[in-house]
Amino acid sequence: MQETQRSADVLSEEGSNSAKRRIMSGMRPTGRLHIGHLFGALGQWAQFCKTDEAFFEVADLHALTTAFEHPEQIRHNVVELVLDWLAAGVDPARSAIYVQSHVPEISRLQVLLSMIVPVAWLQRVPTFKDQIEQLGGEIATYGFLGYPLMQLCDIAIVRANTVPVGKDQLSHLEFGREVVRRFNHLYGPTLVEPHGTLSEFPDVDGTDGRKMHKSYGNTIDIADDDRTTEKKVRSMVTDPQKIRRNDPGRPEICPVFSLHELVNGPRVPWIEEHCRSGALGCVDCKSELAERLNASLRPVRERRASLDAAQVDEILADGAQKVRAIAVETLADVQTAMKI
Ligand code: TRP
């Protein structure tokens, strides 16, 4: 108990504070993030830094489960990802920002926990089947099968109780909780059962009207410049029934309007009314959106541009150190419980 208390203090200047949740989340370094990430997950992450103990991991080993044939992009993507996080206001002084592979205790925990995980539990996780259907049998590796277990180890190694994730990750958390329960049942209470929390934000529409997603090529990126944003907004699909300027539009099905709702606060009712009446044409509506988007992204982009790779390295070294202080304790507890 003493031990756990000591580790809890690593991140909180005020000393132990039991009201704080311990938050852990991560992303795979697969490229630049878009405004869906910014207004959804990252906005929340920046808040957690102020209110909770927070751990944010760049999951490079998870990236390797699918990119093992082309690993050369991963390192570059790690830096890009952290720059996006920092630009969005994730505060390295009030959280731990680190790379998964810099914390070897995660992988050691994975070997130990793998002993008690029935293969059938992993095979029935829905993302496993879906990904194999999408990407082919090539990725049906031992490492990929273990993806949700590795994710649990990310969470369990820091004894996080709260894990903010997207809907698609809830099955991984459910799996993780089952593993924790099995462990604690076999060896006595050792690991913390983590709970998932969903982002309050709905999915953001992409430029083509589908959900904004990197693999659809319909994103507006945090790191885009003003002109690129403008071009992307100009190319956006709108209500197909609104052909000429004075045609009435249906904002509820228009992705341009849905982005206005995200960034154009007080002007939204005016835009809705004038789109519906036909008074507002799509060209003007898009110009205003591009302007608003660029204005609200400006501070984020400026912060991003003011940071360099050397600063990122420093932040990551510091983050790994903070996490490892806790990770070695968790691993020791697990080894003791497993009599090894
Ligand atoms: N699997 C998550 C995703 O693809 C990323 C991730 C890795 C993660 N480790 C995690 C998320 C731990 C939450 C907690 O989005």
Residue ranges making up the domain that contains 230: 224-303
Which residue's CA is the closest to the ligand 1 atom numbered 6? 26
Residue 205 DSSP label? B
The answer to whether the CB of 169 is under 6 A from ligand 1 is yes
Q: Within this chain, do residues 187 and 237 fall inside the same structural domain, yes or no?
A: no
* Structure confidence at residue 37 (pLDDT): 95
The answer to whether the CB of 173 is under 6 A from ligand 1 is no
Residue 173: pLDDT band (50, 70, 90) is: very high
Q: Within this chain, do residues 299 and 277 fall inside the same structural domain, yes or no?
A: yes
Q: Are 276 and 254 in contact (CB under 8 A)?
A: no
* Tokens 């991560």, residue located: 26
Domain count, the chain: 2
Q: Within this chain, do residues 94 and 64 fall inside the same structural domain, yes or no?
A: yes
Which residues, at least 6 apart from 292, have a Cβ–Cβ distance to it below 8 Å?
Answer: 260, 263, 264, 267
Q: In what order do the strands lie in the sheet with 162-165?
A: 96-99, 53-58, 22-27, 162-165, 195-198
* Structure confidence at residue 10 (pLDDT): 43
Indicate which CATH number applies to the domain containing 277: 1.10.240.10
321 inside domain: yes
The answer to whether the CB of 110 is under 6 A from ligand 1 is no
**Residue-wise pLDDT tens digits, 298-337:** 999 999 999 999 999 999 999 999 999 999 999 999 999 9
26 inside domain: yes
29 inside domain: yes
213 inside domain: no
**Residue-wise pLDDT tens digits, 104-157:** 999 999 999 999 999 999 999 998 888 888 888 888 899 999 999 999 999 999
Q: Within this chain, do residues 122 and 166 fall inside the same structural domain, yes or no?
A: yes
* Structure confidence at residue 245 (pLDDT): 87
The answer to whether the CB of 59 is under 6 A from ligand 1 is yes
Calculate mean pLDDT across residues 210-221.
94
Distance between CA atoms of 79 and 102, rounded to whole angstroms?
14
* Structure confidence at residue 133 (pLDDT): 86
* Structure confidence at residue 18 (pLDDT): 55
Which residue's CA is the closest to the ligand 1 atom numbered 15? 27
Indicate which CATH number applies to the domain containing 47: 3.40.50.620
Backbone angles phi, psi at 98, to 5 degrees: -155, 165
Q: Within this chain, do residues 290 and 249 fall inside the same structural domain, yes or no?
A: yes
Compute CA distances 284 → 172, 192, 251, whole Å: 44, 53, 14
Tokens of 176: 């993780």
Tokens of 61: 């080993």
The answer to whether the CB of 41 is under 6 A from ligand 1 is no
Which atom of ligand 1 sits closest to the CA of residue 59? Answer: 7
Distance between CA atoms of 92 and 319, rounded to whole angstroms?
8
209 inside domain: no
293 inside domain: yes
Calculate mean pLDDT across residues 52-81.
96
Q: Within this chain, do residues 13 and 41 fall inside the same structural domain, yes or no?
A: yes
Q: Within this chain, do residues 125 and 228 fall inside the same structural domain, yes or no?
A: no
